[in-house]
Amino acid sequence: MKQYAYYPGCSLESLAKPYQLSAKEVSLALGLDLKEIEDWNCCGATAYFPVDELLAYTLVARNLAIAEKTGLTEFVAPCSACFKNAYYTNNYLKKDPDLADHINFALEEDDLHVEGTLKVRHLIEVMLEDVGLEAIKNQVTHPLAGLKIAPYYGCQLLRPRKDHEDVENPQFFEELLSAIGAEPLKYETKTRCCGASLIITNRKAALEMVRLLLKEAIDRGADVIATTCPMCNVNLEVYQSQVNREFGTDYSIPVMYFTQLMGMALGIAPRRLGIAKESVPKAREAVTA
Amino acid sequence: MAAELSFNQEIANMMYATHGNPISHCLQCGTCSGTCPAADFMDYTPRAIIGMIRENFKDEVLASNTYWSCASCYHCTVRCPAGIDIADMMYALKRYSMWKSRFKEGLIGPDFSEAFVKMIVNSGKSFEPILATTYLPRFSAADMVQEALTATGLVLKGKIPLLPKRIKRLKKFQRMVKRIIPLGELS
Ligand code: SF4
Ligand code: SF4
Ligand code: SF4
Ligand code: SF4
């Protein structure tokens, strides 16, 4: 089994527990060994950067340093915001010795040192590239036949652009959903932002952003919206009732992590994928019907 | 006497990792504004804000809600024909306004950021319910009720634990933070 330094992030210990459960189950089933790094700290999402840039990088660097110490070479995050922070911090550390010096001076307090030598990846990339579509397909025992899914990529999984990859109309999520037998829908707003923490700081703006995403998925006849990030999932799922109150709609669509959908297709019991705990009970009907 | 820095230069100095991010190359094409999902909720669009920074309209920029309405989605960044990282510039403006303690009245963003940082410095982890109480006072009564209902609902459904977690090496973690920023105003 290939081993990875795994950084779950705070959300996976609270709001996104179903993501944690399903990520672990599916990884195990596909032969990926996610080794959670010890004593990690919150990476800060988008909240530290408005306060202090260097502190923001230092907090991310501490987790990278802990992961480097394990001797593993790949750092995997299931949260898109954590992934983006780790990916760019790692890059800046590698490229900018001055920045690395500053940060290492602070890390000395915790007997840590960072080099920026890890390969930083999102969990969905690991599934697609290290396991591969063919191998996933071969393990599917309960294809999600007929299930119409809106693949929601969100922002930080794709942006900023890392190399020359297609950030305007990516297809990898659709390919993954096809591999598990589901029907990925065309979803124009798939890379449009859900509002992230504006849900707290600018409620009106965020609810409008969430409304647009829900509307397109529902108009296209989606049974489920699939996500790759705890923040996206929470905004689309938990705030549906507030969207309905604000706009007089009656939206009620299940929102599920891609790992929950994969787990269903691999024949893992819904309970072990955190599916019974969803706020929107329809999620269960949609996939078990 | 040293010449006073232009606002443009001050903001450039707040972008260390992207090395100044040359907003002077902006073509004023408006692609960023057309892309931005939050533009309708901003006093000035991203394109306009860049123009204003270049023209040294510091007071107007600091009195606007534009960068506090930015969700950091990087959609503008990947589309800018001049290669400007607009999302990073929005972060720099937030930092500048926090540093100078100058914000538009009634914004929740600055309080939220400060509360989040405090929480992490105190525990090493983030914890939604504690955070909720620190930012709730800024909400209107109706919002507060909604937020409380959402939070209570989540706790009842077992999604949020009742007690915050802490990292093990918290003392060392805090000393690490102190090497970066003096904690006076934060803790
Ligand atoms: S950024 Fe969000 S998900 Fe990542 S560790 Fe912090 S709170 Fe958790
Ligand atoms: S869609 Fe929203 S929550 Fe998801 S990654 Fe983008 S900003 Fe974060
Ligand atoms: S997209 Fe780039 S060049 Fe065009 S207005 Fe915005 S910042 Fe300027
Ligand atoms: S990063 Fe900010 S300014 Fe740019 S498109 Fe997203 S919300 Fe708008």
Residues of A in contact with B181 (CB under 8 A): 52, 54-55
Query: B170 is in which domain, residue-wise?
Result: 108-182
Q: Spell out the alpha helix ranges (H) of B124-169.
A: 128-135, 141-156
- Residues A24 and A37: their CA atoms lie apart, in Å, by 14
Encode pLDDT of B51-71 as tens digits.
Answer: 999 999 999 999 999 999 999
Query: Does residue A224 form part of some domain?
Result: yes
Same structural domain, B13 and B49: yes
**Is the minimum CB–CB distance between B85 and chain A shorter than 8 Å?**
yes
Nearest one of A278, A239, A246 to B149, comparing CA atoms: A239
Supply the mean pLDDT for chain A. Answer: 92
Pair B15, B83 in one domain: yes
Instruction: Order the strands of the A2-6 sheet from edge to edge.
Output: A32-36, A2-6, A74-77, A119-122
Both A155 and A272 in one domain: the answer is yes
Answer yes or no: do A24 and A112 share one domain.
Answer: yes
Q: Which residue has the higher pLDDT, A10 or A144?
A: A144
Q: What is the mean pLDDT of residues A161-175?
A: 95
Which residues lie closer than 8 Å to B3 by C-beta, 6 or more apart? none
pLDDT at site B125: 82
Q: Phi and psi for A148 in degrees, rounded to 5?
A: -90, 120
Kindly give the residue spans of alpha helices, DSSP state H, lying in B6-85.
7-13, 31-35, 46-54, 58-62, 75-79
pLDDT digits (tens, 9 = 90+) for B11-48: 888 887 767 677 889 999 999 999 999 999 999 999 99
The number of beta carbons lying within 10 Å of the beta carbon of residue A268 is: 22
Ligand 1 mean position to A215 CA, how many Å? 28
Q: Assign residue A274 the CATH number of its domain.
A: 3.40.50.11810
Residue B94 resides in a domain: yes
What lies within 8 Å, CB to CB, of B9 at 6+ separation is none
State how far residue B35 is from chain A, nearest Cα, in angstroms. Answer: 9
Atom of ligand 1 nearest to the CA of A16: 3
- The number of residues making up chain A comes to 289
Whether B93 contacts B64, CB under 8 Å: no
- Interface touch A55/B124, C-beta < 8 Å: no
| Chain A positions in Cβ-Cβ contact with residue B134 (cut-off 8 Å) | none
**Looking at the domain assignment, is residue B187 inside a domain?**
no
Chain A neighbors of B107, CB-CB under 8 A: 201
Count of the separate structural domains present in chain A: 2
pLDDT at B3 > cutoff 90: no
Region A161-167: mean pLDDT is: 93
Q: Is the CB of A210 under 6 A from ligand 2?
A: no
> Are A95 and A219 found together in one domain?
no
Residue of B nearest to A15 (CA): B159
Domain-embedded: residue A130: no
Strands A119-122 and A224-227: unpaired
What confidence score (pLDDT) does residue B152 get? 55
Contact A64, A52 (CB under 8 A): no
Asked whether the beta carbons of B105 and B65 are under 8 A apart, the reply is no
B78 and B113, same domain (yes or no): no
pLDDT tens per residue, range A169-213 = 999 999 999 999 999 999 999 999 999 888 878 889 999 999 999
Quick one: B73 and B132 in the same domain?
no
Given this model, what pLDDT does residue A257 score?
97
ipTM of predicted assembly, 2 dp: 0.91
Domain boundary among B68, B99, B130: B99
Per-residue pLDDT reduced to its tens digit, B118-161 = 778 888 887 655 455 544 455 554 555 566 556 555 655 555 55
Give yes or no: residues A225 and A111 share one domain: no
How much helix, strand and coil, in percent to the nearest 5, is found in chain B?
60, 0, 40
Q: Which of B99, B120, B145 is the last residue of a domain?
A: B99
Render pLDDT for B84-100 as a digit per residue (tens, 0 to 9). 999 999 999 998 998 88
pTM across the whole model: 0.89
Q: Do B173 and A10 touch (CB under 8 A)?
A: no
Nearest to A45 by CA among A5, A77, A4: A77
- Is some CB atom of chain A closer than 8 A to the CB atom of B25? no
Residues A174 and A59 in one domain: no
**Residue B46 in contact with partner chain A when CB distance is under 8 A:** no
The answer to whether B139 touches B108, Cβ cutoff 8 Å, is yes
Distances from the Cα of B176 to the Cα of A10, A116, A142, A277, B103, angstroms: 20, 18, 49, 38, 29
Q: Could you report the per-residue pLDDT of A47-84, keeping only the tens digit for each?
A: 677 778 888 899 999 999 999 999 999 999 999 999 99
CATH of the domain at A94: 1.20.1050.140
pLDDT, tens digit, for every residue of A227-241?
A: 999 989 988 998 898
Of A10, A92, A155, the CB nearest to B74: A155
Same structural domain for residues B90 and B24?
Answer: yes
A173 and A91, same domain (yes or no): no
At residue A120, the 3 state secondary structure works out as: strand
Say whether both B135 and B83 belong to one domain.
no
Residue A113 and residue A216 share a domain: no
B24 against A130, higher pLDDT: A130
Rounded Cα gap, residues B159 and B135, in angstroms: 20
